[in-house]
């Protein structure tokens, strides 16, 4: 069977197709004209465009991470480790790209940031609904964090659903339990709408995993989760440094303590027992 792309290229004698009845197939698929017209700066400062585009790009990376981690979570509930590991490994590249997104604005001076900061009003990255879904999938949940989105019914409903769903780590621990490891029952049956807190029994489970054969699928799972945890730590650290450099100890635009809030967030580990278990292997 002939490849449609090859047939089209041959019929055009190597010249790209230039005539279409409507929009181009590329536009229909990517919606580029939508993406490139979403930038509406609030000030006349030319530097704001870099801040705005960078923030929008981050939102797209959040969206992809949520997709990959949900894919992995759902696969783990079916013990489909191949599909889960594929999604988790893809997410590493995506998360690194997210972290690299800080570069265009990471070196802002206070004067450069202040040139358009007041125009943002109370807008704050803390209000990002998609980032909240990222955090919920990592097990960092709180019902109060839905409150800022009550004025947007669709977004509020999506966050409420995400709050009620198990996190990626919940799915991991269920999988470990089905592999015969002694995950505590109180962890398996915990209230998944609450923030996950470290448990010594889970630390012992990971100690047993790492004390076993080093080429086992469970060690591989532990290591890819550790990679994700490290990338999350670096993301939070880079956010803290960029904020400290641009605005010092000023209060955040959305009412948070700014740097003080980010410092507190940066100390939280993701998948905590994966880190503490290493001290006992």
* Contact (CB, 8 A) for 182 and 86: no
**Positions at the binding site for heme:** 239
If phi over 0 gives left and psi between -120 and 50 gives alpha, with beta otherwise, what is residue 275?
Answer: alpha
**Positions at the binding site for substrate:** 117
**Positions at the binding site:** 117, 239
Q: Which residues contact 22 (CB under 8 A, 6 or more apart)?
A: 28
Sign of CA dihedral 123, 255, 149, 95: positive
Q: Any alpha helices (H) in 101-150, and if so which ranges?
A: 110-117, 129-137
* Contact (CB, 8 A) for 231 and 202: no
Closest to 281 (Cα-Cα) out of 220, 199, 210: 210
């Amino acid at each position: 069977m002939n490849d449609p792309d090859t047939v089209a290229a041959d019929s055009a004698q190597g010249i790209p197709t230039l005539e279409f009845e409507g929009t181009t197939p590329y536009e229909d698929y990517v919606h580029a004209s939508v993406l490139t017209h979403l930038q509406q700066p609030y000030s006349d400062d030319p530097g704001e465009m870099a801040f705005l585009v960078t923030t929008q790009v981050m939102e797209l990376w959040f969206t992809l991470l949520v997709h990959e981690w949900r894919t992995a979570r759902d696969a783990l509930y079916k013990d489909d480790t191949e599909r889960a590991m594929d999604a988790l490994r893809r997410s590493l590249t995506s998360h690194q790209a997210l972290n690299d997104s800080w570069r265009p604005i990471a070196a802002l001076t206070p004067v450069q940031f202040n040139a358009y900061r007041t125009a943002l009003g109370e807008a704050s990255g803390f209000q990002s609904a998609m980032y909240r879904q990222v955090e919920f999938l990592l097990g960092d949940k709180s019902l109060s964090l839905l409150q800022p989105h009550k004025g947007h019914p669709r977004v509020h409903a999506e966050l409420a659903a995400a709050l009620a769903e198990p996190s990626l780590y919940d799915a991991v621990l269920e999988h470990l339990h089905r592999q015969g490891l002694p995950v505590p029952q109180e962890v398996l049956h915990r209230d998944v709408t609450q923030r996950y807190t470290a448990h010594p029994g889970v630390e012992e489970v990971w100690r047993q995993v790492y004390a076993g054969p080093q080429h086992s699928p469970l060690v591989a799972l532990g290591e890819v989760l550790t990679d994700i945890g490290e990338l999350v730590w670096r993301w939070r650290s880079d956010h803290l440094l960029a904020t400290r450099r641009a605005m010092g100890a000023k209060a955040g635009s959305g009412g948070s303590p700014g740097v003080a809030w980010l410092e507190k967030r940066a100390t939280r580990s993701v998948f905590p027992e994966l880190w503490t278990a290493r001290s006992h292997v």
